């Protein structure tokens, strides 16, 4: 049986990658319907909201470079979300990250079940 890349890397690295991927996916899921959100009322609150709600995540996995850039902008009436997932500078969608997440979770669970003593 051929090992996946997730099985070849150490457990600490798996957990770090999983944390980054989950952050990107959860940010995307939270703001994908941002157009229907109510923006903060004052201009300074809107700028603060924009500054707090942005992500720039990059990592290498299996010889490829993955990145996610997500940010929010606010007008007086609407909140806008922009998110870009890419693999080696080719634009993809969230499924690319979800696929890696599944691989990492199964590798982590396999490792922990193998190395836990009862």
**Average predicted confidence (pLDDT) for the chain:** 92
What are 18-61's pLDDT values in tens digits? 999 999 999 999 999 988 999 999 999 999 999 999 999 999 99
> How large a percentage of the chain has pLDDT more than 70?
97
pLDDT reported for residue 115: 78
CA distances from 61 to 16, 25, 42, 83, 84 (A): 12, 16, 42, 20, 18
């Amino acid at each position: 049986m051929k090992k996946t890349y997730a099985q070849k890397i150490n457990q600490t690295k798996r957990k770090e990658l999983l944390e980054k991927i989950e952050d990107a996916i959860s940010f995307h899921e939270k703001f994908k319907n941002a157009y229907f959100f109510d923006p903060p009322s004052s201009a300074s609150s809107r700028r603060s909201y924009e500054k707090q709600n942005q992500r720039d995540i990059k990592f290498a996995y299996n010889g490829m470079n993955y990145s996610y850039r997500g940010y929010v902008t606010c007008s007086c009436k609407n909140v806008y979300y922009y998110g870009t997932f890419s693999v080696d500078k080719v634009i993809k969608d969230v499924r690319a990250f979800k696929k890696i997440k599944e691989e990492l979770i199964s590798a982590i669970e396999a490792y922990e079940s193998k190395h836990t003593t009862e």
